[in-house]
């Protein structure tokens, strides 16, 4: 059954000071997403999925599913080794994950048909809804706009495309090539613009920090209520990306006392979050709190 969820939170993975996964904090922030009614994406780039080993990734999946959350759970499937991705999809299916996020392969920079064959090889393994992820800033290559259209003709479990190019024109290219495929904003700050072009939802980093406020933000974007969104949301979400993601988000979530430590794993480093950025993040927290108090339904 296809999932209708207008907001997915690309979850951070909380860690202890020694870098091990902090499951107590993880449950706490997952429950906050449940309370807000947001779907959760675990093991995406925000979750440092490529910084965890296979056993850790499987443990994260099992832990999340075993919480029996009242919200859907999506698992990030990312990398460049096809057989490893296939094995992990089988594991996710065995453990009852609700959806999968399939990213354009890293490093190889495949063309249109290479991308198509990659996604086809993964999607033919599963009946689980699959969202494709276009994020050229991380993969080094743009997803060709016709690839989702090609796949939609073969697979009924294509959930949509997470479009994180940062370009309205590229978003429109996907819309024109595959009008039947749902498009999700993969960029918090671009959501008002993408919603105007037909986006059905957002896969968000900001909702880690502001679960209920971001939920309301998405409702307003999809409803065409852009009054009151600017500049507060643009400034606040920009602050989360002034150091490599998810480092600023972890710093701010720790300031809110929702996790025990700010720890990130190499190649990320907390030193990239300057004192000036920490102060800016604090101002973002206050501005979103003020905004939400004035825009609750």
133 is catalytic: yes
116 is catalytic: no
Alpha-carbon distance of 91 to 202, in angstroms, equals 26
Beta bridge mates, 202? 7, 185
Closest by CA to 95, choosing from 135, 128, 118, 122, is: 128
Distances (CA, A) of 186 to 75, 90, 295: 15, 26, 23
Alpha-carbon distance of 112 to 219, in angstroms, equals 34
User: Do 125 and 89 form a contact (C-beta atoms < 8 A)?
Assistant: yes
Alpha-carbon distance of 73 to 38, in angstroms, equals 10
Distances (CA, A) of 95 to 75, 139, 280: 11, 28, 40
Closest by CA to 190, choosing from 209, 208, 163, is: 163
Closest by CA to 285, choosing from 177, 209, 190, is: 209
CA angle 124, 172, 206 (to 5 degrees): 80
Q: Catalytic one among 57, 116, 133, 217?
A: 133
Look-up: residue for tokens 């039947």? 180
Closest by CA to 13, choosing from 2, 22, 1, is: 22
User: Do 12 and 45 form a contact (C-beta atoms < 8 A)?
Assistant: no
Q: Catalytic one among 116, 162, 217, 250?
A: 162
Residues classed as catalytic: 133, 162
């Amino acid at each position: 059954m296809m999932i209708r969820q207008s907001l997915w939170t690309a979850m951070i993975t909380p860690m202890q000071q020694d870098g091990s996964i902090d499951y107590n904090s993880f449950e706490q922030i997952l429950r906050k997403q449940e309370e807000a009614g947001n779907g959760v994406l675990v093991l995406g780039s925000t979750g440092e999925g490529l910084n965890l080993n296979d056993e850790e990734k499987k443990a994260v999946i099992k832990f999340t599913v075993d919480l029996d959350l009242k919200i859907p759970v999506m698992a990030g499937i990312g990398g460049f080794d096809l057989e490893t991705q296939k094995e992990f999809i089988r594991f996710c299916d065995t453990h009852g994950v609700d959806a999968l996020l399939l990213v354009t392969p890293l490093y190889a920079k495949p063309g249109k048909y290479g991308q198509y064959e990659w996604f086809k090889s993964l999607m033919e393994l599963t009946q689980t809804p699959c969202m494709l992820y276009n994020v050229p800033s991380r993969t080094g290559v743009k997803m060709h706009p016709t690839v989702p259209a090609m796949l939609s003709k073969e697979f009924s479990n294509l959930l949509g495309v997470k479009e994180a190019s940062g370009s309205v024109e590229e978003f429109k290219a996907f819309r024109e090539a595959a009008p039947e495929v749902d498009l999700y904003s993969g960029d918090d700050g671009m959501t008002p613009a993408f919603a105007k072009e037909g986006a059905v939802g957002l896969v968000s980093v900001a909702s880690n920090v502001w679960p209920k406020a971001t939920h309301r933000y998405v409702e307003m974007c999809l409803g065409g209520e852009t009054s009151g969104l600017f500049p507060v949301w643009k400034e606040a979400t920009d602050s989360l990306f002034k150091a490599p993601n998810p480092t600023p988000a972890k710093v701010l979530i720790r300031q809110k006392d929702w996790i025990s430590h700010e720890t990130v794993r190499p190649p990320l480093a907390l030193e990239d979050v300057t004192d000036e950025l920490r102060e800016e993040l604090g101002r973002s927290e206050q501005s979103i709190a003020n905004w939400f108090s004035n825009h609750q339904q």
